[in-house]
Amino acid sequence: MTPRRPRRFRAAPILLAASLVACGGPGSSRDDSGPLSGWPEYGGDKGGGRYVLANQITSANVDDLEIAWIHNNGDYSDGSDGSARTSFNVTPILVDDTLVFCTPMNRVIAIDAETGEDRWAYDPVQEQTRLPDPHTRVCRGVAYWEERDEAVRARPCGRRIFTATLDAQLIGIDATTGEACRGFGVDGRVALREGIGDAEMWEYYTTSPPVAVGDVVVVGAMVYDNLRVDAPPGVVRGFDARTGALRWGWDPVPPDYAGPTPADGSYTRGTANVWSILSADEELDLVFVPTGNASTDYFAATRQGLDHFSSSVVALRGSTGELVWTFQLVHKDVWDYDTASQPVLFDLETDSGSVPALAQATKMGHVFLLDRRTGESIFGYEERPVRQDGVAGEVLAPTQPFPTHIPPLHPSALTPDDAYGFTPWDRAKCSELIARYRYDGQPFTPPTAEGSIQYPINMGGANWGSVAIDPERGVLFVNMTRMAGSIEMVPRAEFDALDDKASRWPFQLVPQNGTPYAVRLAPLLSPLGAPCSPPPWGSLTAVELASGKILWDVPLGSPRERAPWPIWWLWSDLGSPNLGGSIVTAGGVVFIGAGTDNTLRAFDAETGQELWSHHFDHSANATPMSYRLRRDGRQFVVVAAGGHAWSDAGDALVAFALPER
């Protein structure tokens, strides 16, 4: 493990007297009236709505935001010591007046929410330091649970933080002291590798937060993609929040499955895993599970039906793990279009009344609106015929589901004439590249040995940043990457004969052992590094939920930090690939980082106009959060700016607020 730098705290700089008078005197843009607001869950609430009730920050005063404090945790690595590099993509949660978050080394840290000063830290000393390319060490968040009885809640561990680690442990921590809850599991830990069977440590681990449903803590895990057909199981499990005892395990195996079943009592190998963020409705006793792919991602014929629950959103009974309903978003997924986005819960107002709804965004740029009680589509959808002529021996679905209420938010047209380049020369090269590969004009073009275009690329469309929903305006906000990639199926004999099988993200060669094909993956880029698909390469879109109408669609990000000067300076509206999500406030402001250009931005929720931005030393590929604790206090917007695969590694958690009076 990389040695840790000493933790340090930096307060906001002292303002000049003239600034204090201008910001705090008569005519100040800051309003101390209005509601308070918390952030008790990863997505703001258990439904992941990412809506902020506080309205002190508005479209009229957001340009006055300044840094309130910066917290540096010291847990980062650039990989130069041989360990995996880190990505600081966390979204903290707010417990009373304390922010709690995890670092890429799986330390859990609590700090004062208004000053950024340290309160406690828990170090599990996790053992996982090496991960295969392109994966980085990351922990996206933690979960909170408390006893219902006030007297019991006041006892040690009556209020708990749950975190899951890269070495596959579920840990319970006292939310007040940061001490391990010794009565949970064994000395505060539950081993998530039990029942998983033979697997390397780097093949099975957890990066996303658990979720508490009643007195059950539910957690999934990430399974390393495309290594072998018999990958570790994708089981989702619920544990007793007090004792850590296993309450239930959902093994995503179809009812008519006739394949091999482990004889040792472990879970079924090769099933769809659940690596992303879960949601919950405690009143309905439901947990909503976004599923990944059954093994392997790019070849379906060897799955023996285990893709029955792949690339779906699944509702399980929180108390028992019973399957309630499932809605598949991609049939026989051979594009790595797994369900990366957190299912987002909201109440949809219709002519016939309010419907408990769920919005599910996908990597294809689709957004499905479902009744979260039943899984039925509220406005309907279409099963449209798609091509089935993939590689020899493949078994593909004859149709794929398309939403009809909200139109696809990612473009589908891509021809040689659409090619982009920074110069006429590299544009011509992109045109040749697009012409070289097969593309059927839709995202379900089958992978081929000759090479096919994947548009959008396998990172999305929408990814784990999911969507934000403003319940007052009835508007959904979603950010997307708009890039194309290529998929080449490499026959096994050809792959075995290769001398160099090195894989370096984003240009990957993956073995898919147990299938007839390995896979070569790459983004479509010009010789100068420009995406060959037309810009913007990143977007932020607002959609009216009741009508499905697109209200606005604007570029998100710029080529800054990636393209040479003066290209990014001359063309700042090109957008950029993005990972991370948005939040929306009652003050009418949408905050989002997500891009490759190390910038947090604020947009007007009504118009999409960019109102404010701040540039960091590292990219802010995390979903922000916001809160206001006191009537005479400030509303804070907090984001982790600690880099990702495309940025240097960092460790800064940065808070913004309007000026002090």
Q: Which of 102-116, 313-327, 598-612, 644-658 has the lowest mean pLDDT?
A: 644-658
> Rounded CA gap, 216 and 250, in Å?
14
| DSSP assignments along 93-118, one per residue | EEETTEEEEE-TT--EEEEETTT--E
Beta bridge partners of 236: 250
How many other β-carbons are positioned within 10 Å of the β-carbon of residue 374? Answer: 13
Q: 3-state SS of 609-630?
A: CEEEEEECCCCCCCCCEEEECC
Q: What is the full DSSP assignment across 155-216?
A: STTSEEEEEE-TTSEEEEEETTT--B-TTTTBTTEEETTTTT-S--GGGEE--S--EEETTE
Whether 460 and 500 have beta carbons less than 8 Å apart is answered as no
pLDDT of residue 9: 31
Instruction: Report residue 459 as tokens.
Output: 């990172």
Instruction: Kindly calculate the radius of gyration of the chain based on its CA atoms and give it in whole angstroms.
Output: 24
Write out the two tokens for 289: 């599970």
Choosing from 167, 174, 297, 336, the catalytic residue is 336
Q: Which residue carries 């695969």 as its tokens?
A: 645
**DSSP conformational letter for 537:** S
Q: What percent of the chain has pLDDT over 90?
A: 84
What are the backbone dihedrals phi and psi of residue 277, each rounded to the nearest 5 degrees, phi first? -90, 130
Question: Distance of alpha carbon 642 from its chain centroid, rounded?
Answer: 15
Per residue in 115-154, pLDDT (tens digit) is 999 999 999 998 887 887 778 999 999 999 999 999 999 9
3-class SS of residue 118: strand
Q: Work out whether strand 204-205 and strand 108-112 pair parallel, antiparallel, or are unpaired.
A: unpaired
Single-letter amino acid code for the residue at 383: E
Residue with token string 């199981």: 233
CB 332 within 8 A of CB 446: no
**Strand-pair partners of 325:** 315
User: Does residue 336 carry a catalytic annotation?
Assistant: yes
Q: What is the pLDDT of residues 214-243, one digit of tens each?
A: 999 999 999 999 999 999 999 999 999 999
pLDDT of res. 502: 78
**Which tens digits make up the pLDDT trace of 586-596?**
999 999 999 99
Task: Answer whether residue 507 shows pLDDT above 80.
Answer: yes
**Dihedral, CA atoms, 52, 161, 113, 115, nearest 10 degrees?**
-160
Q: Which two tokens stand for residue 265?
A: 């009592």
Which positions ≥6 away from 166 have C-beta within 8 Å? 106, 126, 128, 131, 137, 139, 205, 206, 207
pLDDT tens for 34-74 read: 899 999 999 999 999 999 999 999 999 999 999 999 999 99
